[in-house]
Structure 1
Amino acid sequence: MIAPSFPVAGVWRRIAAAIYDGFLMFAVLFVASLLPALLLNADRLAMSPATDSVVHELNTPLQGWGYTLYLLALIFAFYGWFWRKSGQTLGMQAWRLKLESIDGTAVSWKQVAIRLPVAALAFFLFGAGYWWAWLDREGRSWQDIASGSRVVQLPKEQK
């Protein structure tokens, strides 16, 4: 195993960056859902006169497997693009974290495809996959181990 050039990131920093990215992801998914909903209901909204009544039923095309796959594809593209481009999402930049392969290179699409579902599982099991980093000798979480990658702590920039 190649020694990391930067220290492995701590659990709390990873969680803070994940929360930061969670807010950004919420906004991305909100807009990604709002636009098709408005487009698919534009004819109905344009033709209905302004009234004081509440519209109880609109077309609900944003549901089911197709919609779920659409949102999952957006999540995959979002994280994949940032991780492949610079190794950092906006939250990771704020907390000076970087995702890289064990050899220090950029992660592959295959690593992204493994890392995302394992990270979701690690999070939804009350963070057990993240807490695992405290038990692992190399400070790796479940998603690090499964995808052959690591999150490192970058140094502060010199002024």
Structure 2
Amino acid sequence: MNQTTENQIDFSALPAAGLGRRIASIVYDLLLLAAISLGYALVIFVIRMVTEGAPEQGQMMASPNPSVQFVIMVGWWFTLASYFNWCWKKRGQTLAMKTWRLRLQQSDGSLATAKQRWNRCLIAPVSIVSVVGLLWCLFDKEGLSLHDRINGTRVVLLPKKIN
């Protein structure tokens, strides 16, 4: 069998990923993010139980003050962004992207830089939730999403045998 290896591929020549694969990958990643979020919530719950004590029986735990809520939300974002950064740093793929044969890279085929990865974590959620960022790839001459265009990255479709 003819097995393609990473050394035989010109990553800069790979086609941009289509909208369907991008959406499928996002849905899959959302399931993984839900699991990570549950783990984060458990850690926060344990920390609050240790620092504040358990509420009386039949009572709900009081909501933390706004500054603590802000710290919790920033920590949650950082936790989720760290998942993406770790995956993209290693091979340019999250588990979902690997399943759908997608890869995040720069236009020259090299992996995204740390700055690009963190910027993508800031820009992509807004771009995706507004839908404009994803639909952008349908009209972009290079097939880039809005957050890829802004960030200098691209999501490409890998050949079948490399994954």
**Fold equivalence (TM over 0.5):** yes
Distance across 1 between alignment mates of 2:58 and 2:46:
14
What is the CA-CA distance between 1:84 and the residue it aligns to?
1.0
Residue-pair matches, total: 150
Q: Distance in 2 between matches of 1:3 and 1:90?
A: 19
Residue aligning to 1:115? 120
Aligned equivalent of 2:108: 103
Q: 2:99 matched to 1:94?
A: yes
Write the letter of the residue equivalent to 1:138. Answer: E
Does residue 1:58 correspond to 2:61, yes or no?
yes
Counterpart of 2:140 (choices 136, 141, 149) is: 136
In 2, Cα distance between the equivalents of 1:101 and 1:85?
A: 14
Q: Tell me by how many angstroms 1:97 deviates.
A: 0.4
CA distance in 1, matches of 2:129, 2:28: 17
CA spacing shift, 1:115–1:64, aligned 2, 3 Å: same
Unaligned runs of 5+ in 1: 49-53
2:36 partner SS? helix
Task: Output the CA distance in 2 between the equivalents of 1:91 and 1:149.
Answer: 18
Match of 1:22 in 2: 30
Partners in 1 of 2:125 and 2:44 — Cα distance? 26
> In structure 2, how many angstroms separate the alpha carbons of the residues matched to 1:120 and 1:36?
23
What is the distance in 2 between the residues matched to 1:35 and 1:74?
12
CA gap 1:39/1:65 in 2 versus in 1, 3 angstroms = closer
What is the TM-score with the length of structure 1 in the denominator? Answer: 0.84
Matching residue of 2:153: 149
TM-score normalised according to structure 2 size = 0.82
Q: Work out the CA distance in 1 between the residues paired with 2:127 and 2:40.
A: 26
Distance, in Å, in 1 between the alignment partners of 2:78 and 2:105 is: 22
Which of 12, 17, 21 does residue 20 from structure 2 map onto? 12
CA contact (8 A) 1:41 1:59 kept: no
Deviations 1:47-86 (A, max 9, x none): 97xxxxx632225459511101100111221111111111
How far, CA to CA, are the matches of 1:11 and 1:92 in structure 2? 13
- The answer for the alignment partner of 1:51 in structure 2 is none
**Identity across matched positions, percent:** 30
Mapped partners of 2:33, 2:147: distance in 1: 19
Equivalent-residue separation in structure 2 for 1:142 and 1:114 (angstroms): 13
Q: Distance in 2 between matches of 1:153 and 1:72?
A: 27
